[in-house]
Amino acid sequence: MAALIYLSVAVFLLGMGWRVFTWLRAPVPLKIPLTPGPTTAAGVVGRMAGEVFLFRSLFDADRTLWVAAWIFHVSLVLLAVGHVAGLVVPDFAASTLDLTPAQFSHLAYVTGGVFGILAVVPLIYLFIRRFTMERVRHVSTLSDYLALALLFFAIQTGNHMRFMGDLDIVQAREFVAGLLTFRPVPPPHSGPFVAHMLLVCVLVAYIPFSKLMHLGGIFFSPTLNQPNDSRQQRHVNPWDHEASKA
Amino acid sequence: MKPPKLNPGASANQRSHRAKKELLMPLGLPAEMPSDWQAVALRKLDELRHQYRSLQLYLDICVRCGACADKCQFFLGTGDPNNMPVARAELLRKVYRRYFTPSGKLGGRLAAAEDLTDKVLDEWYAYFYQCSECRRCAVFCPYGIDTAEITMAAREIMASVGVATKYVTEVVKKAHEIGNNLGIPEAAWRDSCQFLEEEMKEETGADIKIPVNQPGAEVLLVPPSADLFANTDTMIGYAKLFHAAGVSWTTSTYASEAGNFGLFLNYEHLKKVNKRLVDAAKQLKVKRLVIGECGHAWRAAQAFMDTLNGPLDFLDAPRPEHICEFAARLIRDGRVKLNKTANDGVVVTYHDPCNVARAGGMLEEPREILRAVVSDFREMPADTIRERTFCCGAGGGMLADELMDVRMKGAKPRVEAFKTTGANFLATPCAICKAQLPVAFQHHGVEAQVGGVMDLLGKAIVI
């Protein structure tokens, strides 16, 4: 189990590293920001923040999809934060929030439950949308359904543990601590836990080989991250030697 | 406009005429498709993905959410699913996956990967020339994926194996050989300028010049060559503006074309066509380079010129400058006297040319001018103007007669938006829009005039 987790994390890191390398090794020869756009670096940070945190363009494109996508992504991030708080640094998290261990576990139960559900409901919508909306169905590939399915089952097995209450949280914390200190201990004896871990492993390892790499890719998008300053600052094309030496 | 039902293959037969060797060879393109064309094309794709981050990234990260699908005027007009930007891009992506990604190499069809075959090339030729590179999809994409980048790459790949359109190559060839897209030689250029001078003399009684090759002028104005023949009111507008403001200016017979069809073919020709403008400005020793009413010319000039053929620091800033910026500044400074009543009866709306708005960032100045010269200015619906403007339906090298059906369908969203305004004049600073929209108006039963911003300014200027 531990070996598999290490392997999937390694695949993720190396895979995403390779992806980012392939994006960065290709230069941006011409200025192609979408205009009107920010003309300064601070403006670009603002534009990117709007896209990354608020999905600004999607908001204008498809309001229903935006609601689903935004709730899903926010829930996913909060679930990740919750996992760190509850499994890695529970004492620190509880004391930061000024809660007793019992209160903290109650809070974890509620927030984990709420965001666990808020994450899967949009996934169900995305699946139905992909299947029923003619335009989207037409362009959907197997990998699109696979990504949805992986996410759905990974989160759903987590929800199962939460609501069916068959996980020993202390054992889970020890397992995570073992992983993080590279002194792995056996995982809790729980079917859903093992299933959850397996699905998350597959998901994480799959990211660099699938469209899920958009989570890193968006930061490199030249139409969004270039300042619109072609007339203030000369932009050099590194592979056009004749033009770049001038 | 409501998204149409999918109608697969609806515009599959809308194809530009292919360029033959008489047009390919002078542009340095293979006269015939090489027997190993797949290998050549794949090498080109590999080269381009190493040269353009946009291409590599946009091939990789699309999630096929469909946000772009109903934003493209060619999909809205034709219902052909391959005209959804996401599907258009997938035409290239499936080949990229097949040859350059682990999942595509292993998974084949299951991974939505496909061999580069004659059939695929055929699809590319049809649908990458039914994209006007207008970037409307990119505005709505959550990652800013710009299908124009994909289209340009696909066209460059096709060109590398001798597959290009007659229309685009013909225009590029004329631009290289004669200096403008219409192929107007110097003598005819001078004649037309003289003719327009006489016309203005008759109208105003003043000696308003359209100077040609005048060294030392302050401004080199590079119009789309169509302004000298089809859109003469625009040309007259420039002339009256410079005359009234007392700015010395000139046109050039070496760089007599603002438009740059190289943008619709490949980098090499984009750069070469662009260079004529810089060379002419240097040779005529002007202080300013001003671009006339041409949409993609503005992209090529404001976004690319300094990179391609700069540095441009021999010019006064802003370099280069758009005629609408230049005119708006003169109006603001009170350098020209205007009389709105000259445009009485004109109810005007402004059509943002795609390149001017989404790739050139100029949104306010044309509106500022129109408000100053016409008393009734109206906007089309907010989701069809400014950076969300619809393409006229003929940009990006699509203004060919044989594409008339898809052009008219692609124009429909623009025409429908126009109809809501009650305007009788559509003003737009783009020669392609000006050529396309009157035909589209007629086709869709709209009676209204199409003209330039300068046309209305010219009428309002008090000489």
CATH at A201: 1.20.950.20
Two tokens at A91? 């004492």
Let me know: does B201 contact B178? Beta carbons within 8 Å: no
Residue A244 has a pLDDT of 67
Instruction: Give me the count of residues in chain A.
Output: 246
> Going by DSSP bridges, is the β-strand pair B376-378/B347-350 parallel, antiparallel, or unpaired?
parallel
Question: Is A237 within the bounds of a domain?
Answer: no
Q: Are residues B157 and B186 in the same domain?
A: no
Closest chain A CA to residue B50: A26
Question: Is A221 within the bounds of a domain?
Answer: yes
CA R_g for chain A: 22
Let me know: does B254 contact B276? Beta carbons within 8 Å: yes
Residue A184 has a pLDDT of 95
A67 in reach of chain B (CB within 8 A)? no
Q: Are residues B289 and B353 in the same domain?
A: no
Binary contact (B60, A213; C-beta < 8 A)? yes
Question: Is B169 within the bounds of a domain?
Answer: no
CATH code, domain with B67: 1.10.1060
The whole domain housing B119 covers 21-164
Q: How many domains does chain A have?
A: 1
Residues of chain B with pLDDT under 70: none
- Is there a cis peptide before residue A36, judged by omega within 30 degrees of 0? yes
Question: Is A96 within the bounds of a domain?
Answer: yes
Amino acid at B218: E
Instruction: Give, in degrees to the nearest 5, the angle at Cα B374 between B369 and B380.
Output: 80
Question: Is B63 within the bounds of a domain?
Answer: yes
Out of B164, B195, B212, pick the residue that ends a domain.
B164
Q: How many domains does chain B have?
A: 3
A28 in reach of chain B (CB within 8 A)? yes
Listed by number, the residues of chain B in 365-394 with a beta carbon closer than 8 Å to a beta carbon of chain A are: 386-388
Out of B164, B199, B217, pick the residue that ends a domain.
B164
Nearest of B367, B339, B336 to residue B351 by alpha carbon: B367
Binary contact (A235, B141; C-beta < 8 A)? no
CA distance B201 to chain A (A): 37
Instruction: Give, in degrees to the nearest 5, the angle at Cα A67 between A64 and A72.
Output: 130
From chain B, pick out residues whose CB is under 8 angstroms from the CB of A32. 54, 146, 149, 303, 359
What is the three-class DSSP state of B377? strand
Residues of chain A with pLDDT under 70: 244-246
Question: Is A239 within the bounds of a domain?
Answer: no
Listed by number, the residues of chain B in 44-83 with a beta carbon closer than 8 Å to a beta carbon of chain A are: 49-58, 60-71, 81
A61 in reach of chain B (CB within 8 A)? yes
Residue A167 has a pLDDT of 81
Out of B332, B360, B394, pick the residue that ends a domain.
B332
Q: Are residues B299 and B208 in the same domain?
A: yes
Q: Are residues B51 and B144 in the same domain?
A: yes
Residue listed under structure tokens 């996934």? A123
Two tokens at B264? 């619709």
Q: How far is CA B38 from the centre of its chain?
A: 30
A27 in reach of chain B (CB within 8 A)? yes
Say which of B56, B312, B360 has its CB closest to residue A22. B56
Q: What CA–CA distance (Å, rounded) separates B158 from B128?
A: 10
Binary contact (A57, B52; C-beta < 8 A)? no
- Starting from the edge strand earliest in sequence, which strands make up the sheet with B425-427, in order? B376-378, B347-350, B425-427, B449-451
Q: What CA–CA distance (Å, rounded) separates A13 from B142?
A: 24
Q: Dihedrals φ, ψ of B377, to 5°? A: -110, 130
A211 in reach of chain B (CB within 8 A)? yes
Let me know: does B165 contact B129? Beta carbons within 8 Å: yes
Determine which of B45, B65, B384 to mutate to test the interface with A (most A C-beta atoms within 10 Å). B65
Residue B1 has a pLDDT of 81
Let me know: does A5 contact A193? Beta carbons within 8 Å: no
Two tokens at B356? 């001017």
Let me know: does B297 contact B291? Beta carbons within 8 Å: yes
Residue A225 has a pLDDT of 97
Q: Are residues B41 and B105 in the same domain?
A: yes
Determine which of A11, A31, A32, A39 to mutate to test the interface with B (most B C-beta atoms within 10 Å). A32
Q: What CA–CA distance (Å, rounded) separates A47 from A49?
A: 5
Residue listed under structure tokens 């996410």? A151
- Full-model pTM: 0.96
The interface predicted TM-score (ipTM) is 0.96
Q: pLDDT of A162-188, one tens digit each?
A: 898 778 889 999 999 999 999 999 999
Q: What CA–CA distance (Å, rounded) separates B286 from B273?
A: 19
